[in-house]
Chains A and B, each alone.
Chain A
Amino acid sequence: MSIFSDIGRYLLMLKGMFSRPENSKMYWKEFMHQCSEIGIGALGIVAIISVFIGAVSTVQTAYQLLTPLIPRSTIATIVRDTVILEFAPTLTCIVLAGVIGSKIASELGNMRVSEQIDALEIMGINTRAYLVMPKILAGLLMIPFLIILAMALGIWGGRLAATMANIISTGTYDKGLHDGFLPYNVFFALAKAYTFAFIISSVSAFYGYYVKGGSLEIGRASTKAVVVSCILILFADYVLSALLL
């Protein structure tokens, strides 16, 4: 029964976000603050992970493609498609669920426990609109941007590994990148990015917003937000792949 009650409260939280802002300027300021927190805050980890994922993909694909019947440029083609279709959107979002999701949940949880959310309510502010909406919108704007960056850095990391480990030349790698490129794959990756961005920001906000208790519960809510976000991301990944590919 608890799951249905949680889904109901989650939907009510989303519904409650839509109201006329008390002061648009303040909402815009909060939105920009969240963009900076989500976008700039996760930039470093996304860059590091993407480069290494690309590099590892190249090395492992080369290891598995030992037959001389397949051209070496295929390594780059496989790395490109793997990074664009799966690694950049899904793996990056799993990491972002940990980085951004726990941050959102603990921030809102701390505000709830220390009565800061109550203080805002007393002032006559719709806290769902002021605290939750900017986080979701910032997530929807910044996470796809981070994923595009992850795609580029992943492919570049693969190129770097290919050259450094003497697997294939940069010319062959670049040729492989151009071979049979489907722009639809990027569209598919972005569809996943937007879906995952919404899951990460809204689910984490939900667990943080409804925290009850003390600091221990904030930690629990934060962990739960990450776990549930990850499960939903993997589930959505499967559904989107089945529907769109």
Chain B
Amino acid sequence: MIELKNIHKSFGDITVIDNVSAVMKSGQCNLIIGASGSGKTVLMKCMVGLFEPDSGEILYSGVNFTELNNEQKTEIRKEIGMLFQGSALFDSQTVEQNIMFPLDMFTKWPVKKKLDRVNEVLSRVNLVDVNKKYPSELSGGMKKRVALARAIVLNPKYLFCDEPNSGLDPQTSLVIDRLIKEITIRMI
């Protein structure tokens, strides 16, 4: 469970988030809805520690994230997967290398096991035969799905998706929505 208590964030004179509180229960898709520029991404970035809120508390299973030092934050971040608005794939790496990156960094699995895991998550996001392709060779929807595969490869406890459907056609949007829902159910 994630709890937000009176989060406030401003950039200079512009207040982006003003006194926002929320409770996000585990095993559910929790949605943040708002107009463009209303601070949804800023709030999400505060929640994962990419931005420091000016005031307020963010609690992960009761642990106050805002009061932790960098190393302790890193430990919580290892339980977080995030799908960025622009996919944020490493453009110098292939799809396979992109998804394998967290496995290479945080596991000591043999290559075969890592490859199996990569193929498993790729099939979960309905992608086949794209392992050796570079992000520049993929469509917007495929990039989102690869990014989603990378976000879930380590089985994160928390999955954050920043506008997962932006710039996608309605059909691909539906596919992504179903995937996120399916992943949420499987994560419980």
A contact set with B: CB distance below 8 Å: 19, 22-23, 25-26, 110, 114-116, 118-119, 121-126
Name the B residues within 8 Å of A23 (CB-CB): 104-106
* Chain B residues whose C-beta falls within 8 Å of the C-beta of A116 in the assembled complex: 88-91
Closest Cβ–Cβ distance, residue A59 to chain B (whole Å): 43
Contact A114 B77 (CB under 8 A): no
Residue of B with least CB distance to A121: B50
Known: A23-B106, A26-B104, A123-B105. 15 other contacts (CB 8 A): A19-B71, A25-B104, A110-B91, A114-B86, A114-B88, A115-B84, A115-B85, A116-B88, A116-B91, A118-B50, A122-B48, A122-B81, A122-B82, A123-B78, A124-B74
Contact mask B88-131 → A, CB, 8 Å, 1/0?
Answer: 11110000000001101110000000000000000000000000
Question: Nearest-CB distance from A6 to chain B (Å)?
Answer: 18
- A124 touching B50 in the complex, CB below 8 Å, given contacts A23-B106, A114-B86, A115-B86: no
Whether B80 sits at the interface, judged by CB under 8 Å, is yes
Q: Is the CB of A122 within 8 A of B86?
A: no
A124 & B88 in contact (Cβ 8 Å cutoff)? no
- Count of CB-CB pairs between chains A and B under 8 Å: 52
Any A CB within 8 A of the CB of B75: yes
Mask, B153-170, CB within 8 Å of A = 1, is: 000000000000000000
B 52-83 to A, binary, CB cutoff 8 A, 1 in contact else 0: 00000000000000000011001101101110
Chain B: minimal CB distance from A94 (Å): 28
**Chain B nearest Cβ from A186, distance in angstroms:** 37
- Asked if B78 contacts A124 (CB within 8 A), the reply is yes
> How far is B157's CA from A64's CA once the two chains are assembled, in angstroms?
75
- Enumerate 13 A-B pairs (CB-CB under 8 Å) in ascending A order: A23-B104, A110-B91, A114-B91, A115-B86, A115-B88, A116-B90, A118-B88, A119-B84, A119-B88, A121-B77, A122-B80, A123-B77, A124-B74
